[in-house]
Structure 1
Amino acid sequence: MKLETIVHDIPPLYDAESRVLLLGSLPSPKSREAHFFYGHPRNRFWPVLAAVLGEETPETIEEKQAMCRRHHIALWDTVAKCDIAGASDTSIRNAEPNDIGRLLRESKIERIFATGGKSGELYRKLIEPKTHVPITVLPSTSPANAAWTFERLVEAYRVIL
């Protein structure tokens, strides 16, 4: 397992009206390539979110951004920098957190959700002691989480409403 040091360079998606924050762990190689969140074509995040919000699945980055803004949803990741093997969250070492406190100060975010177990674990360890805002962990929409059907994911993500 060869670890590579990754520095997160995708800016958070939020504005002053954002009320809900969805946090991944770290962008996958495909997401970093696309320079936007949940960029792997087989990741079910965008279809799940669209279903929860009653919208068509957005295709372009602009459509994804617009859908999130319409529904006051912010997106970012827990990790600013870490050592990782490929896209394997379980391999994350030496994680440094993103400045979630800044998003909280610059928005109306009241609730934070992790889009997978590792994001939730790292948030609780590295960020929650500073922000004192608890996180709710949702199941990963990654294709690696095949145990969760699309329908089960949509049902689980309804809690963001």
Structure 2
Amino acid sequence: MKAQTWERVTHSFLPIYNEDSKVLILGTAPSVKSRENNFYYGHPQNRFWRVLAQITAVTLPESVEEKKAFLLSKGIALYDVIESCDIQGSSDSSIRNVVPADLSEIIQTAGRIPVLGNGGTAFRLYQKHQYRQTGIPMILLPSTSPANAAWNLQRLTDAWESKLKPYLQND
């Protein structure tokens, strides 16, 4: 197995939100595939988009534009807790030298909306770097990453639905 090299990664795409956003979902940092695709949850095995599509009973959005339109139509804001960090590949456990993302513009635009964290690393980093500034507690959700193999798609969907559904807008 090839040893992973350290890479300094800076978030290269914008958060998705508007004044109608009712909930903010924060991941950790873009994966290698997400950085290649220049959009969130780009790894084909990441279950983020499938979970949201099942919860909302919509066709799985495919293109970046479809995904953006889907999020905004449901009142979902999306970003990451990290603006830049050192990381090996896509491994959250390797993250170090974190510069946290500035969430102030999202909160100024959307208001003090609930914040949900996609996985334990996003939760820990938010608690460490952003909670004091926002004053908004984060609701922890299980990671949709393929590395979270203990959670199958149905179990993930059930867990996410119970926390996310109350905040979703209907079309």
TM-score (normalizing by structure 1): 0.97
| Contact kept? 2:9, 2:86, Cα under 8 Å | yes
Distance in 2 between residues matched to 1:58 and 1:119, nearest whole Å = 24
2:159 aligned to which of 148, 156, 159: 156
Distance in 2 between residues matched to 1:56 and 1:97, nearest whole Å = 33
Distance in 2 between residues matched to 1:123 and 1:102, nearest whole Å = 16
| Contact kept? 1:18, 1:109, Cα under 8 Å | no
Secondary structure at 1:83 match in 2 = strand
Cα deviation for residue 137 of structure 1 reads: 1.0
Aligned residues: 161
Q: Once the two structures are superposed, what CA deviation does each residue of 1:70-113 show, in whole Å capped at 9, x if it has no partner?
A: 11101100000100000000000011111112210111351000
2:9 corresponding residue in structure 1: 6
Matched, 1:22 2:7: no
Cα deviation for residue 55 of structure 1 reads: 0.9
Structure 1 residues not aligned, in runs of 5+: none
The runs of at least 4 consecutive aligned structure 1 residues that moved more than 2 Å come to none
Q: Once the two structures are superposed, what CA deviation does each residue of 1:8-42 show, in whole Å capped at 9, x if it has no partner?
A: 11100011111100100000010011010000011
Distance in 2 between residues matched to 1:60 and 1:40, nearest whole Å = 13
1:122 corresponding residue in structure 2: 125
Cα deviation for residue 5 of structure 1 reads: 0.8
Distance in 1 between residues matched to 2:58 and 2:76, nearest whole Å = 14
Matches within 5 A, 1:1-161: 1-158=4-161, 159-161=163-165
Distance in 1 between residues matched to 2:6 and 2:94, nearest whole Å = 8
TM-score (normalizing by structure 2): 0.91
CA RMSD of aligned residues (A): 1.0
Sequence identity percentage: 43
Secondary structure at 1:58 match in 2 = coil
Cα deviation for residue 157 of structure 1 reads: 0.7
Structure 2 residues not aligned, in runs of 5+: 166-171
